[in-house]
Amino acid sequence: MKTLHQSPTEPGFVQNPYPFYEKARKEGPFFHWAEYDLTCTGNAAAVNAIFRDRRFGREVPPEKAPAIPEHLAPFYAVEAHSMLELEPPRHTRLRSLVLRAFTSRRIAALQPEIAALAHALIDGFPAGEFDLLKQFGQRLPVIIIARLLGVPEEMSDDLLRWSNAMVGMYMAGRTRETEDRAVAATEAFVAFMRSYVEARRQDPRDDLITELIAAEAGGERLTTDELITTCILLLNAGHEATVHTIGNGVKTLLETGHSITEATAEDTVEEILRFDPALHMFTRWAYEDIEVMGQTFRRGDQVGLLLAAANRDPGQWEAPAKFKPTRPVKPIATFGAGLHFCVGAPLARLELVTALPILFSRLPGLRLAGKPVYGDVYHFHGLTRLMVTR
């Protein structure tokens, strides 16, 4: 296995990580990423196999669990109840309870609201050049998830700020300042959610928090701490990736001269999700000794799954570096696979399929007003802003 060097914060990589992924692909299914000291793969078959293999998982094996520094205890106290970081049986119980509330019917019913909100946001666009990410990409997902949960819409700026600070914990090159900001946001978020959950227990409404309180499986309910963590997870995951996907997607459409209509929306959105996704790396732990495509993992080894690289595997797609909305739809790595397949994927797809055609039909002359710049946020991949004019 070849060792490759690439700083995830190096400006060239931040703006375009794909050449590095292609260089790594030429070394075989797996390579050692020196800066992470991690075995990684961008091979579509390997990524899919590891996602679906129960001998790999998210939960840290006990012998590998690091001591949590005292100043980070509040952040990891919330993480301890996150279904994203758990394996069965706790993951099974939490996910089944969440899915009883987060139903496909409830999500589908949001479509008219997403459309109305998209129109309202477009009505509020300023004249001249403006930042589409700030005016549209950031606003739409956070308002929808706030409405879905039943959280006051005027809280959306706070939610966005807290979420951005917490997500900083997963970015390359995090500092003590990043950590302190994340912990402060966590404590504010938890305090707000705790008071809100208690209010909903006394005064049930037609919202997701009330549904989560009521959800039962096998006589069990979510504890208050599990409920708070689940709401925070849905807010953080539910808008962070969608914000980046809207930005990356609109940028790609404008740069390649493509539009998107109601008729082409589903195929075009799938290609946006494949071509330049918001999440580039997800890790798994090996729970026993196992071999994948000639690479041996020992119990306690960690592997990095490079989702964006897997989405451009030429073994899976013809001319993968080309943006082709008409290409045949195939499974993508963007939302994961198997046990931890993203709970919010149907909502993310619905937001994109609904909002983007409205944006392009309302603003047929939409064009870039400056070079879009990606933020130094790896293992996420998203723009700092998207200046446009109409």
DSSP codes, 233-299? HHHHHHHHHHHHHHHHHHHHHHHHT----TTTHHHHHHHHHHHS-SB-EEEEEESS-EEETTEEE-T
* Pairing of β 3-4 and β 31-33: parallel
Does residue 252 contact residue 324 with C-beta atoms inside 8 Å? no
What's the pLDDT score for residue 194? 92
Distance of CA 133 to the CA centre of its chain: 16
59 token code pair = 């939960």
CB contact set of 52 (below 8 Å; sequence gap of 6+): 337, 338
Q: Is 46 helix (H, G, I), strand (E, B) or coil?
A: helix
Please give the Cα distance from 249 to 269 (Å, whole number).
8
Residue 101: predicted pLDDT: 84
Helices 139-149 and 224-256 sit at what angle, rounded to 10 degrees?
A: 150
Confidence at residue 238, expressed as pLDDT on a 0 to 100 scale: 67
Question: CA-CA distances (angstroms) from residue 48 to 59, 60, 305, 334?
Answer: 18, 20, 9, 11
Residue 17 DSSP symbol: -
Residue 217 is predicted with a pLDDT of 66
Instruction: Note down pLDDT in tens along the chain; length 390 residues.
Output: 999 999 999 999 999 999 999 999 999 999 999 999 999 999 999 999 999 999 999 999 999 988 999 999 999 999 999 998 999 999 999 999 888 888 889 999 999 999 999 999 999 999 999 999 999 999 999 999 888 888 888 888 898 899 889 988 988 888 999 999 999 999 999 999 999 899 998 999 988 899 988 887 677 888 899 999 998 888 887 678 899 999 999 999 999 999 999 999 999 999 999 999 999 999 999 999 999 999 999 999 999 999 999 999 999 999 999 999 999 989 999 999 999 999 999 999 999 999 999 999 999 999 999 999 999 999 999 999 999 999
Q: Where are the domains of the chain?
A: 3-389
Query: What is the rounded CA–CA span in Å between residue 388 and residue 371?
Result: 10
pTM: 0.94
Residue 361 CA: distances (Å) to CA of 139, 258, 310, 340, 356: 19, 12, 32, 35, 9
Class of domain 3-389: mainly alpha
The DSSP line for 205-216 is: -SSHHHHHHH--
Q: Which of 189, 181, 197, 172 is nearest to 78 (CA)?
A: 189
Instruction: In whole angstroms, give the CA distance from residue 274 to residue 295.
Output: 26
